Every structure is written in C-alpha cells, then in structure tokens.
Amino acid sequence: MSKRIDVKDLNVYYTNFLAVEDVNIEIEAKSVTAFIGPSGCGKSTFLRTLNRMHEVIPGGRVEGEVLLDGDNLYESGVDPVTVRSQIGMVFQRPNPFPTMSIRDNVLAGVKLNSKKISRSDAEDLVEKSLRGANLWNEVKDRLDKPGSGLSGGQQQRLCIARTIAVKPQVILMDEPCSALDPISTLAIEDLINELKNEFTVVIVTHNMQQAARVSDKTAFFNIAGTGKPGKLIEYAETATIFSNPTVKATEDYVSGRFG
C-alpha cells in the first residue's frame, strides 16, 4: 500500500515568481524522507507540489513532472482531487474540523465525499485509523466529543488518523511538530516510525535532530538570497547528510553554522 515518487525538472512558481528551481529527486516507497533547510528556502512549497496543494494558492503553478509510481500528477486530465486522495497531507498546525466530533473527523474523508459506508465498516475504520495514529486508547471513550477539545498533540494525531482513514499511498507532513511540546513531538516521531511500514512518508522539518531521528534519507534545500529561487542542494542517506555531506553549505547548515 505505498508508492514511490519521482520528481523530474520541477520548477515551482507563484504567478511569475520562481520559488523553487529545477528539483530532481526520487523518493522510495515505504521510507521516511526529510526535507530540511533554512526558512524561506521553499521546502514547504515544494512539499505542497507533491499532492497539488500548491495550486490552491492563487497564482500557484509548476513546470516539470511529478510521477507517482510512474504516473504524472500534472498530466492534463488528471483531477487534483484524485491525486490528493492518494497523497495525503498533515499540516503545521493541527486543524481538526471544529464542527465535527472525533469520530466524524476520522471519517471526514469518507463522509465529506458522501461515500456509502456501513455502520460496522465505519466503526472498524475509526478504530483502525485511531489505533494507527496511536490515539485509540486516549479517545475511545469520547468519540462523540468535539475534536477541538483534545490537546495539541492529540489533535495532530487525530489529523494523522484522518489522513490514514482515506488509505493514501503517501503521507506528506509539513512541520507536523512545530506547534507541539516535546512530549507530544516524541509521540508523533514514534508514530512516523510505525507509519513507514505501510506508507511512504515525506516530512518537512526545522528540527535537524528530528530529521536525524526519523528519516531514512534527507534532502537539504537552500536559497542563495532573498528573491532568489530555492534549490535542492543535496539528497542522500540521512547518516551521510549529517556525518559526511559533500556540499559545503550542507555541512555549514547541519553543524549549526547558519540557519
């Protein structure tokens, strides 16, 4: 249940402004890939092109190819909705739907699309997704309570459960721990380690220790200066990036000399 992603010659634009230039990267199935780099280097922007969320922003467009197991996401005739149901996304700040209960939040992907689902199937899906997000034991007694009543870390795991429930191939995470306390962060990191048994995971993070802890491979993005496009500088095994990078900028960054 997971697919690989290959990106070929991708340029990302906001209207006419080139935000990320010429990215080529191969992301293996059932692996965790981390994107690191200084603020504004385009790593989040690039992440959003992987499930066509970038074009939700007015003026957002791309050139190049993103292949999901060989199928180009950007080929004409491809519906972004289909893409997003295969490549899910978890955001920086936990964003459960405030009008829905915990159960309905998990079922949101199914219910919002008005797909028919039997009661028992729904119960199974809720339990399986919440267990998958390590949240089941904490919320099983209050599934009908609003999701906004949970703590920040629980809300974020609820968002992950919601994403798992639509059974995607790939899960993209945009700084999923930056709004959380250290204990909740640890819980999410443990979860990411479990998720890679079933999904391809791509995570953007500001926290280099986090990248070192959770990822198999790491991509370092950098920017030459304000107004210049962000670029993929180096992409390798995580151990290599942190112990023996080939590019000077990567070394400077991971050793804390800038950024």
- In DSSP terms, 14 is beta-bridged to 17, 60
Q: Sheet containing 170-174: which strands, arranged edge to edge? A: 71-72, 60-68, 5-14, 17-27, 230-237, 217-223, 32-36, 200-204, 170-174, 87-90
Smaller CB distance to another protein: residue 70 or 227? 70
CA-to-CA separations, 175 to 67, 93, 135, 143, 202, in angstroms, rounded: 23, 8, 20, 27, 10
Shortest distance, position 127 Cβ to another protein, whole Å: 19
Smaller CB distance to another protein: residue 3 or 43? 3
Shortest distance, position 17 Cβ to another protein, whole Å: 17
Shortest distance, position 220 Cβ to another protein, whole Å: 25
Smaller CB distance to another protein: residue 44 or 250? 44
Shortest distance, position 168 Cβ to another protein, whole Å: 8
Contact status, residue 117 vs residue 110, Cβ threshold 8 Å: yes
The secondary element (H helix, E strand) that includes residue 7 is strand 5-14
From the list 50, 57, 51, 43, the residue with the least C-alpha distance to 14 is 57
Smaller CB distance to another protein: residue 34 or 150? 150
Shortest distance, position 145 Cβ to another protein, whole Å: 8
Residues that bind another protein (CB under 8 A): 51, 53, 56, 58, 68-73, 75, 77-79, 81-86, 88-89, 91, 93, 95, 97-99, 108-109, 111-114, 145-146, 148-150, 159, 162-163, 166
CA 118 remoteness from chain centre: 30
Q: What angle do CA 96, 60, 199 make, to 5 degrees?
A: 50
Contact status, residue 62 vs residue 13, Cβ threshold 8 Å: yes
CA-to-CA distance for 188 and 180, rounded, in angstroms? 10
Shortest distance, position 172 Cβ to another protein, whole Å: 8
* 3-state secondary structure (DSSP) of residue 23: strand
Smaller CB distance to another protein: residue 54 or 196? 54
Smaller CB distance to another protein: residue 74 or 253? 74
Shortest distance, position 100 Cβ to another protein, whole Å: 8
Smaller CB distance to another protein: residue 114 or 120? 114
From the list 203, 195, 196, 215, the residue with the least C-alpha distance to 176 is 203
